Structure 1
Amino acid sequence: MGARICTGTVTTEAHQGEWSAAVSGRDDTLYRSGSPGGNVLPSVSGLWSERGPPCNRIKASPVQPTTNGRAGRRDSFAMGNSALKAHLETAQKTGVFQLTGKGLNEFPMDLQKLASSLRTMDLSGNKIEILPSVIGHFAVLKSLNLNSNKLAVLPEDVGKLKKLETFHLNSNSLKQLPSSFDQLAALKTLNLSGNQLREFPLQLCRLRHLDVVDLSKNRIQRLPDELEQLQAIELNVNQNQVSQISSNISRAPRLKVLRIEENCLEISMIPTSILADSRISLLAVEGNLFEVKNLRDLEGYDKYMERFTATKKKFS
């Protein structure tokens, strides 16, 4: 299956005191509200399976059931054309189309009629395998939710969604993003948790208005040099296979929350510049290949704690 397995013993403890909250990600109230980036994603500590952290197991790909074209069409319209028509009529009035958990195998092509007016589209919890190129016609779309479908690729046409601010793609089967993804000039929130990404998508480093990025539960192994260009306020790479972090991440101009829980990090692989020289004021590293309390011995830890404490006071 190609999934990398790291070796080593993962040590986690029940830590007490402010320093523990500062590095464990347990104090999620710091940026939950009132922050420049709005809501950020809570820690997922404790949610991994009983089989252990991702560096100690192979992450199997979900089995995708197959259907022939005829069966797929029957499933897509199982809800009935009259019901779909009712949803379309509502969307025409409100600018919001929501059709979730209906077992759709195909993108509802009738939505093209609303391409010039639709602002919100929610097709989460279906069985859509292909996002057609017509998605690029939705010129005023601001929010697109495709969580929990069966998407393996995205068309290059998604880059035409110039007004898109929120993009939810959790729990699909994406292995990479299209090259046009860096053209989503208005994008602020991106959720890609639970896919099959093996590398950090460098397109994200070219998005100027990005605030929150969730890449948790993928297969990413390293955080590259290009992250110095990332504009996000929060980056979540929990439950990946990260074993290397470029020190350049400390130069990310707005990064304040970095979640790297349940990965494959040795303490020697954490750049001290993250502690001493970055803007990061919440570093979550539980569930890696070291005891969290040992962070206190790293150069720059005192400076990190000053930022953490100042931020906690600001939002308390």
Structure 2
Amino acid sequence: MPKGNGAKGEKLTLKVIKKAIWMTLDGHRRLNLSNMGITIFPKCVLKLTNVDELDLSRNLIQKLPDNIGSFWSLRLLDLHSNKLESVPESIGNLVGLTHLNLSNNRLISGGLPSTLGSLTSLKSLNLGMNQLDTLPPTMEALDGLQELGLFDNLFINLPEFLKVLRNLTKVNMKRNPLSYVQGDSEGMHKEQAEEDVYLVHESSLCRTCLKKCQEQREGFTGGGGGGGDVFEEKRIRIYHGLMVPNSVATVNQDVWRIRKVEHKPIK
């Protein structure tokens, strides 16, 4: 399929793109260019300064324009399931962004700019299904972040700054080669690899699950009485206000991608 063309071979001109703008039920202007075989980011999109939400997911985009930060009106940016290896520094200019989805790309840690820490309005950030093993330490400034997706990456340790994000309620760390073993035993490290871990705020748990997780936490930290030496080897890190590991939240945590919303065309 020719680059920049739509699903029916239609060239993505500004006129054509404007027809893809819809009004969501909550009154936001959403531009949906998902699953159109796009290989190059359509620069004419940046002229639509009245668009609140941009969906370019499920395409073949390898690079974002360096001036992506000029799209100042954006509140939601969905780029999941593309071929991105890096994100330009100018993304830090999108200070009104509340939802950013970069999952299922080819991002490496070196491709994440420190300017991500400037997106202080972010509530949801999805970086799952990439090749990340660290995050920019500047992200500790994302004080409003509530949900963070880091599943299916290469993390060995949890990012240290998670414990200072006061509003963070859910972190999806499933299918990472996490290791909490303090010893040098190679076999023990392998045993802990690919651990499924969620960090969930206690307020998101029902009473039964909260009690179960508290008992489990006491056991892992050796505070449950008896067997202290056994649990010492498998001690996990405890983050203030968060339950670890494998907590079952009252809200389904598997839904990290942007939900499809019903919309109607703008007249």
In structure 1, distance between residues paired with 2:100 and 2:133: 20
Residue 282 of structure 1 and its aligned partner are, at CA, apart by: 6.5
The alignment partner of 1:180 has SS state of helix
The alignment partner of 2:117 has SS state of helix
Whether 2:234 is the aligned partner of 1:279: answer no
Matched with 1:127 is 60
Larger RCO of the pair (alpha carbons < 8 Å, separation 6+): 1
Conserved in 1, the CA contact under 8 Å of 2:85 and 2:105?
Answer: yes
Whether 2:197 is the aligned partner of 1:235: answer no
Deviations 1:229-256 (A, max 9, x none): 123111111100111399xxxxxxx944
Matched with 1:105 is 39
Whether 2:142 is the aligned partner of 1:207: answer yes
Match of 1:87 among 6, 12, 17: 17
* Aligned CA distance change for structure 1 residues 272 and 208 (closer, same or farther; 3 Å): closer
In structure 2, distance between residues paired with 1:82 and 1:166: 25
In structure 1, distance between residues paired with 2:159 and 2:36: 39
Task: Give the residue type in structure 2 aligned to 1:108.
Answer: P
Residue 85 of structure 1 and its aligned partner are, at CA, apart by: 2.8
Match of 1:155 among 88, 94, 103: 88
Matched with 1:28 is none
Conserved in 1, the CA contact under 8 Å of 2:4 and 2:11?
Answer: no
Whether 2:235 is the aligned partner of 1:270: answer yes
* Aligned CA distance change for structure 1 residues 82 and 217 (closer, same or farther; 3 Å): closer
Task: Give the residue type in structure 2 aligned to 1:270.
Answer: R
Residue 280 of structure 1 and its aligned partner are, at CA, apart by: 2.6
Deviations 1:50-71 (A, max 9, x none): xxxxxxxxxxxxxxxxxxxxx8
Task: Give the residue type in structure 2 aligned to 1:223.
Answer: L
Conserved in 2, the CA contact under 8 Å of 1:154 and 1:178?
Answer: yes
In structure 1, distance between residues paired with 2:238 and 2:243: 13
Identical amino acids, percent of aligned pairs: 29
Whether 2:80 is the aligned partner of 1:118: answer no
Residue 83 of structure 1 and its aligned partner are, at CA, apart by: 7.6
Conserved in 1, the CA contact under 8 Å of 2:17 and 2:45?
Answer: no
Conserved in 1, the CA contact under 8 Å of 2:156 and 2:178?
Answer: yes
Task: Give the residue type in structure 1 aligned to 2:177.
Answer: Q
In structure 2, distance between residues paired with 1:113 and 1:84: 8
Residue 128 of structure 1 and its aligned partner are, at CA, apart by: 0.2
- RMSD over aligned Cα, in angstroms? 3.2
Number of equivalences: 199
* Aligned CA distance change for structure 1 residues 172 and 224 (closer, same or farther; 3 Å): closer
Does 133-142 or 208-217 show the bigger shift? 133-142
Residue 117 of structure 1 and its aligned partner are, at CA, apart by: 1.1
Whether 2:117 is the aligned partner of 1:182: answer yes
Deviations 1:131-158 (A, max 9, x none): 0122111112000000000000000000
Conserved in 2, the CA contact under 8 Å of 1:99 and 1:123?
Answer: yes
TM-score normalised per structure 1: 0.56
Residue 110 of structure 1 and its aligned partner are, at CA, apart by: 1.1
Unaligned ranges ≥5, structure 1: 1-70, 247-253, 259-264, 286-307
Residue 216 of structure 1 and its aligned partner are, at CA, apart by: 0.2
Q: For 1:162-181, list aligned pairs within 5 A.
A: 162-176=95-109, 177-181=112-116
Residue 273 of structure 1 and its aligned partner are, at CA, apart by: 4.5
Residue 87 of structure 1 and its aligned partner are, at CA, apart by: 3.0
In structure 1, distance between residues paired with 2:12 and 2:241: 54
Residue 162 of structure 1 and its aligned partner are, at CA, apart by: 0.6
Matched with 1:77 is 5
